[in-house]
């Protein structure tokens, strides 16, 4: 704290008209925060696009990403730090700047750098307020957190849901892990994909010459991965522009993937035609909140139950495509039981012709017929997966 105060006393003022170095990335971060929070743009889409168009150097680009993602992710925690110093909430632009400034203090940027650069990036009329509040934060003790959701910056319902589904300690570790950014991994063929998705592809176990149907395939990460084993892959997706992504990725990688636009609740394929079917279903995404920093604020408490109904329908519609003796793999990048264990158990209850394979080992743990990959185990996405075998005589 003493060091922080000293830094503040010596904060330098640039010559009139000159911009403090480091202001430009903060200004871009503030612009991006407005687009994410006011216009509803997805952080993982809008940030890379803006960086492609800006003329900042590499270090500043990395800084913009860290500041934007971190400030979005930590919003609730940052607000809890800021709120005691505000009589009433100022304009959104000032609130965003306060969050951005406090985020930098929280992750250890020097006080003077965090303050000067943030204040310099704010419209003039808000500079006094932003400067005063940030100085107060620097001088204050850390707040007493009123809840785990406030401390780790998640909506309470997500904390409660994961605590119920995973147990308190495991849930807390998962939530902490999903506050740490993950570095993207690149496959041998150049496709960027989290290791957890590669492991799902491995679990499908496609063999040379087999026909594999991936009913929810876009952008094609798993489809192209499965094709690399020598299988022929039919990759379907409901959304036309997402089918285009599969086409582009398959062409770039030279994969034997046939992309089609199709609704997986009624797939236009012959029954018993596929050796393997993958249902990599749309889900609440609560296992990938480290990669999608705004997701936690966008998912609604009723989403897991609603998505579970769709997931159950997708499994039901995919099952007839599987040849006798073939496999049906179900995967989701979430950690709720409603979307994993409950979906798979309900399916197995209705389909005696299918049985679950033994859960996976290694970093995976099991919950009934489902293998769960917790994000804290290997620093990957969180996943749930089940491999269901169709009996040879059915
Ligand atoms: C988790 S993503 C798939 C990711 C993909 N398997 C990969 O590894 O790159 C789920 C996909 O399901 C698609 N989807 C949602 N509802 C669908 C439906 N009824 N039929 C087919 N695809 C659907 C979404 O458009 C989305 O692309």
pLDDT digits over 24-70, tens only? 999 999 999 999 999 999 999 999 999 999 999 999 999 999 999 99
Structure-token match 């296992």, residue found = 287
Q: Counting atoms of ligand 1 from 1, which one is nearest the CA of 215?
A: 21
The closest-lying atom of ligand 1 relative to the alpha carbon of residue 214 is 6
Q: Which of 297, 293, 214 is nearest to 249 (CA)?
A: 214
Q: Which residue lies with its CA nearest to atom 17 of ligand 1?
A: 238
Q: Which of 237, 261, 265, 269 is the pocket-test mutation for ligand 1 (most atoms within 8 Å of CB)?
A: 237
Residue 377: CB within 6 Å of ligand 1? no
Q: What is the CA angle 391-203-282, rounded to 5?
A: 95
75: enclosing H helix or E strand: helix 75-82
Q: Which fold has domain 195-390?
A: Rossmann fold (3.40.50)
Q: Is the CB of 383 under 6 A from ligand 1?
A: no
Strand partners, 373: 364, 383
pLDDT of residue 8: 39
Residue 16 CB contacts under 8 Å (≥ 6 apart), including other chains: none
CA distances from 316 to 3, 208, 354, 361 (A): 62, 27, 12, 27
- Residue 367 and residue 354: Cα distance in Å, rounded? 18
Beta strands 274-280; 370-373: pairing state: unpaired
Distance from the CA of 239 to the center of ligand 1, in angstroms? 8
Gap between the Cα atoms of 73 and 152, Å rounded = 9
Determine the residue of 45, 187, 213, 238 to mutate for testing ligand 1's pocket, defined as the one with the most ligand atoms within 8 A of the Cβ atom: 238
Using alpha carbons, select from 290, 287, 282, 220 the residue that is nearest to residue 255: 220
Below-50 pLDDT ranges, the chain = 1-12
Is ligand 1 within 6 A of the CB of residue 315? Answer: no
Q: Which of 54, 216, 283, 333 is catalytic?
A: 333
Q: Is 333 a catalytic residue?
A: yes
For residue 219, cis peptide bond before it (omega within 30 degrees of 0): yes
- Tokens for 158? 């997500």
- Strand pairing partners for 356? 388
Instruction: Output the CA torsion 44→47→51→57 (10° steps).
Output: -100
Question: What is the pairing mode between strands 211-214 and 232-237?
Answer: parallel
Distance of CA 18 to the CA centre of its chain: 39
Burial of 208 (0-12, 13-18, 19+ CB in 10 A): exposed
Ligand 1 contact, 282 CB (< 6 A) = yes
CB 306, CB 334: distance < 8 Å: no
User: Does the beta carbon of 213 sit less than 6 angstroms from any atom of ligand 1?
Assistant: no
Question: Distance, CA 70 to ligand 1 centroid (Å)?
Answer: 27
Domains 2-139 and 195-390 share a fold: no
Query: 220 alpha carbon to ligand 1 midpoint, in Å?
Result: 9
Topology classification of domain 2-139: N-utilizing Substance Protein B Homolog; Chain A (1.10.940)
Could you state, in order of their start, the residue ranges of all structural domains in the chain? 2-139, 195-390
**pLDDT at 6 (0 to 100):** 36
User: Please, which residues bridge with residue 237 across strands?
Assistant: 261
Which DSSP letter does residue 97 get? Answer: H
- Grouping H, G, I as helix, E, B as strand and the rest as coil, residue 197 is helix
Rounded to whole angstroms, the Cα distance separating 384 from 382 reads 7
197 lines ligand 1 (CB under 6 A): yes
Q: Would you say the CB of residue 219 lies under 6 angstroms from ligand 1?
A: yes
């Amino acid at each position: 704290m003493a060091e922080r105060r000293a830094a503040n006393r010596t904060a330098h003022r640039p010559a009139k008209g000159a911009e403090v170095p480091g202001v430009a990335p903060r200004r871009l971060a503030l612009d991006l925060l407005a687009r994410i929070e006011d216009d509803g743009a997805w952080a993982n889409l809008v940030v890379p696009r803006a960086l492609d168009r800006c003329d900042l150097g590499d270090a500043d680009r990395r800084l913009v990403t860290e500041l934007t993602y971190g400030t979005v992710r930590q919003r609730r925690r940052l607000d809890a730090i800021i709120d005691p110093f505000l009589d009433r909430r100022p304009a959104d632009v000032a609130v965003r700047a306060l969050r951005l400034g406090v985020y930098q203090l929280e992750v250890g940027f020097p006080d003077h750098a965090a303050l000067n650069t943030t204040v310099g990036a704010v419209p003039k009329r808000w500079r006094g307020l932003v400067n005063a509040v940030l100085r107060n934060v620097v001088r204050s003790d850390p707040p007493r957190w009123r809840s785990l959701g406030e401390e780790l910056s998640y909506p309470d319902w997500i904390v409660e849901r994961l605590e119920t589904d995973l147990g308190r300690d495991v849930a807390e570790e998962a939530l902490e892990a999903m506050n740490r950014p993950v570095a993207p991994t690149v496959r041998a063929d150049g496709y960027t994909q989290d290791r957890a998705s590669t492991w799902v592809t491995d679990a499908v176990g496609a063999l040379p010459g087999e026909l594999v149907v991936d009913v929810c395939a876009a952008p094609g990460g798993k489809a192209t991965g499965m094709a690399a084993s020598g299988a022929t892959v039919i990759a379907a997706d409901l959304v036309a522009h997402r089918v285009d992504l599969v086409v582009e990725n398959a062409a770039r990688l030279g994969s034997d993937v046939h992309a089609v636009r199709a609704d997986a609740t009624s797939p236009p394929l012959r029954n018993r035609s596929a050796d393997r079917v993958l249902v990599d279903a749309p889900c609440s995404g609560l296992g990938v909140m480290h990669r999608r920093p705004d997701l936690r604020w966008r998912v609604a408490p009723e989403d897991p139950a609603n998505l579970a109904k769709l997931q159950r329908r997708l499994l039901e519609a995919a099952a007839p495509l599987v040849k006798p003796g073939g496999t049906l793999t179900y995967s989701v990048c979430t950690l709720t039981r409603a979307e994993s264990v409950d979906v798979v158990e309900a399916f197995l209850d209705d389909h005696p012709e299918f049985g679950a394979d033994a859960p996976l080992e290694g970093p995976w743990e099991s919950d009934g017929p489902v293998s769960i990959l917790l994000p804290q185990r290997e620093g990957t996405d969180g996943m749930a997966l089940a491999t269901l075998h169709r009996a040879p005589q059915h």
